[in-house]
Amino acid sequence: MAPRTWVILGDKRGDNGQVETIVDALSWPVERKYVHMKPKYVLGKPRYRPSLDHLDLDQSDPLEAPWPDLILTVGRRPSMAALWIRKQSGKRTKIVLVGKPSGHMRDFSLVIASAENQMPPLQNFLPTTLPLMRVSPEDVAADAAAWQTRFETLPRPLVALLIGGETNPFIMNRKVAHELVAIAHWVVNELGGTPYVTTSRRTTAEVVEVLRRDLPPEAVFYQWSADAQENPYRALLGSADGFIVTADSVSMMVEVIYLHKALAIFPLPGGWLGRLDQRRRALAHWLFNPKRESTRDDWRHALGRGVHHLDFFKILSATRDFAAFHRLLVEKGLAVWAGEPFRQPDAALPDDVGAVVQRIEALFRWPRRGGRWAAPQTGASFPPWTGRCATRPLFAARKAGTRTVLAESPRPRRKAHAAP
């Protein structure tokens, strides 16, 4: 019997898309619960505790018994509601969280986070190479068709220059804006193409000012606005020949990669404080790197777990190392650095979703003697003969060649009893 599953979704479409990617791959039905925030929590974050106080319950879907066996959710605000439901169920409900938790990882049955998130190597953590977001090819094709007449007159290659904004540890000032202008000139002069420059809601006014004034006449400039009737972003995803994305915009990079488009990363500088902060992030990357190839890595993992338990203020735990993520994309042949010749990605994308589904299924079943699968009894996590603690996972996702499989834990040997 399939576990009763709720999917708790908030107001962030990008976050929701990662959960929907998992839902599409599950083999059982789910019930979606949309929650809406009170005005003060639309941007502000609630305190980390099991609670519904931050929700507008009149606008949200009802959260009432019978409680689910499993909750899939993402983000700080929906996850607090998930913890409240788990408390009401007598801690029977299992929670799968996508993204880094704001509080204790052990509050969740499974935490899934992509490579830029530096998470402690606990048994309930599953790292993925890329965020689990997806772009609908049908939606992209429809938008590209709607903009076709506006794109077809532009000299090729059409290069989308997607600009984000300041986010720790990066800065985006006038100097960066002039470097973006130089890249736009490179597209015109070296490639003979058209730079299509788009900003986002995080792009600062001083950067917009420089772009408007200094971009080459061959460039097309679109300034993001909340009131705009049209946005060329999805149309560019379907029509552009190449993409240059600023280093802060992980989500835009990932969407380009999943569409198998040529991607270049535009590096951003950090101020002195940002450079100091990058050292902290690099230390977290070394400490929590999931690589496990030697005894030294085992010791490093043990040290990482100890630091996580002592790191009350999350100075190292659950931070993001953008630089490590950029290097990973370049090393895997999924991106180049801005100013280098574009390269069509030929590397196969990792089956992160398949590994995630296997770990979720492992929360609710185990192999009995003879290798047959059976569902656990309510409130139990492992069969009695394993002798294992119910809070420890029975399976671990391990790599076997290029395929991720579930490795069965060894059975304990039975002691021989002397004849009476």
Q: What is the mean pLDDT of the chain?
A: 84
Q: What is the DSSP letter of 45?
A: P
- In this predicted structure, the answer to whether residue 411 has a pLDDT above a threshold of 90 is no
Q: Give the CATH number, domain containing residue 157.
A: 3.40.50.11350
Count other Cβ atoms within 10 Å, centred on residue 118: 27
Count other Cβ atoms within 10 Å, centred on residue 44: 11
Q: Token digits for 401?
A: 């060649």
pLDDT tens track for 34-54: 999 999 998 788 999 999 999
Report yes or no on 327 lying in a domain: no
Report yes or no on 325 lying in a domain: no
Taking the C-alpha atoms of residue 409 and residue 405, their distance in angstroms, rounded to an integer, is: 13
Is the same domain home to 178 and 261?
A: yes
Report yes or no on 342 lying in a domain: no
Is the same domain home to 146 and 114?
A: no
110-114 and 125-128 beta bridge pairing = parallel
Report yes or no on 62 lying in a domain: yes
Report yes or no on 334 lying in a domain: no
Is the same domain home to 97 and 206?
A: no
pLDDT at 60: 96
Percent of the chain with pLDDT over 90: 55
Is the same domain home to 14 and 93?
A: yes
Strand, coil or helix: what is 187? helix
Domain range for 124 is 1-130+349-420
Q: Give the CATH number, domain containing residue 126.
A: 3.40.50
Report yes or no on 125 lying in a domain: yes
Q: How many domains does the chain have?
A: 3
The answer to whether residues 372 and 152 touch, using CB atoms and an 8 Å cutoff, is no
pLDDT at 148: 95
pLDDT tens track for 220-263: 999 998 888 899 999 999 999 999 999 999 889 999 999 999 99
Report yes or no on 340 lying in a domain: no
Is the same domain home to 10 and 118?
A: yes
Confidence of residue 405 (pLDDT cuts 50, 70, 90): very low
Beta strands in 324-385 (DSSP E): 336-337, 366-367, 373-374
Q: Token digits for 176?
A: 């960066």
Is the same domain home to 88 and 170?
A: no
